[in-house]
Structure 1
């Protein structure tokens, strides 16, 4: 079956993401797309996407495997996504080395030790919400979804509390795909300035935090993180651990408030908070499209087309997670009792997100405490009035207005 060669221009504002994802799937396992002026293959078929996420014929190293790299990093608004030097853009042995160096910071022991920290942070935030007058509207994204992950990341990384708001604003800019190339570059410069200050402070006075650990860590071969790798690894940890978790909390609360029958399943014990987290991750992943990967060799597609060596590849997680071939005719339905809630939100294979257990802990804890503390929680606007973030990457709302108590 032939497919059109004219790329689908992805909407940088993400205004109607679900329609866009259906359009991508209608073009087969892969669709040519335009990502802010860069052409790539969007992969929305989960079987093909899993294969490409794990096979050696796909790389994340644009310097080595993307002929358009030099041009893209000069004037592409998403240049930071492909130009960083950390395990996000590493390939082969380089990726294995970097992952080995970073993994101890996300060990099961360290994540388990963070549980009481997460619970204390959630309790503090809910105490502040409980002090609001009954019937008042509060923005739950601003008052819970945002401050919880940034406080936890700040705690883990040793970021002084006074500096956390600065990191938040600049990380938001990394995910904002409506910025011009000049605005994105300026945002990156300011963000790196904050990272350099953090590294200098921890070198001068190390603490019991992840930044100090990454500065000091080494693997059995004695290698350490180079300076650029250190900066970009901190950028990866802060960005991935903050923005994505904000969106999952946001989407999980929204889904439960717009599907009271599903919340009833949880309250009756027919499903657990873990089920809510996984179904949210499947239905509304924090990241819709993740740029970029590159074909190391020609990759034949099931319909006879070919992803040519050097072509860019876009992992379209949101479209893949809702694929009807994977989850059947109810793939677009929020169902916490769904027997199989498999998804690709955290990636797959060697690039599976190291922070996944921590993100799951944060979201489940926030949801359980929130709905226990405020059993009559309701949306303060119609669901259709919730405005999406202006991004083709980040999947959340600009605000989440709720009433904690009945009027």
Structure 2
């Protein structure tokens, strides 16, 4: 089915973070919220819940595990035991509670920079200490630095917070890298918490491989944390999953305080079940729109921002822009906002490798995307101007 983004006039009536953080003259392309209308099956499920006043606590036994297991098998050929699916508030809470159970306070936890900024806060919240092993970029694209990872494990790291597909790069980790990670985790008895929230948004030319599916070692040492929040734009409804593939990791999740599960939002649960059961046609339409946008973005950057770098992602709706050649400093998002009135996510927040970079959300209309790059190009060509405010077709 065709899915198109809402017009700016309607989007600006939304009250979420994306549309209330900046004045109306700013194009907000920073936070990971989509501009598409809510999938109809989700809207219908929520309206039905309101009409029956179904606004209480989540039931301890529900249909989320079965819905996700069926989706995972259809989408990725991954066989999930519904009995090994637990829920909580959101992916960040799932990460914190999983790490907290997997380590002793003060233990080292590895992350791969540049990476989703909250990772730097979630690890210490769980009692761990961050160890950075940056991803490597070669002729074949991005990859995990397996030698660096092993060195960190050998030095005593007790957990690895994996991002698959990787945010902000839109890179689905290769089956070879994931298999090697599982082997290292087994060798050094390290727990792997794999954030797979962007997996449903893998593009037609990308391949997502669930970490737990690559080998018995992965299932023995891993926990998948995921949600319908990013793919179906329902983050505010609060529901995330913790999926395991072994009795060892099932016991780890089951040992979490009961309140971890009770924090699941009732509307989030209802919406997630609807998404996994009936939301695939909408999802396919969104992915097709995102693939068209990522190509358009490459054309716009090449034509209007000479010297800027951009590798088209194979998953999600986030572009990692290399703006070092523009001379806009370590954090080019500052100039983008001040001179172009375009809000981007600051690259340095993703770790030291993010200096000179910015993350752009292209989960919007082609018109908004074109206007954003036009504004950035104008700011580059007219460096003495403090702001560029235009409406044009994006309005």
Structure of greater relative contact order (alpha carbons < 8 Å, 6+ residues apart): 1
Structure in which a larger fraction of residues adopt helix: 1
Structure in which a larger fraction of residues adopt strand: 2
Same fold flag (TM > 0.5):
no
| TM-score in terms of structure 2 length | 0.29
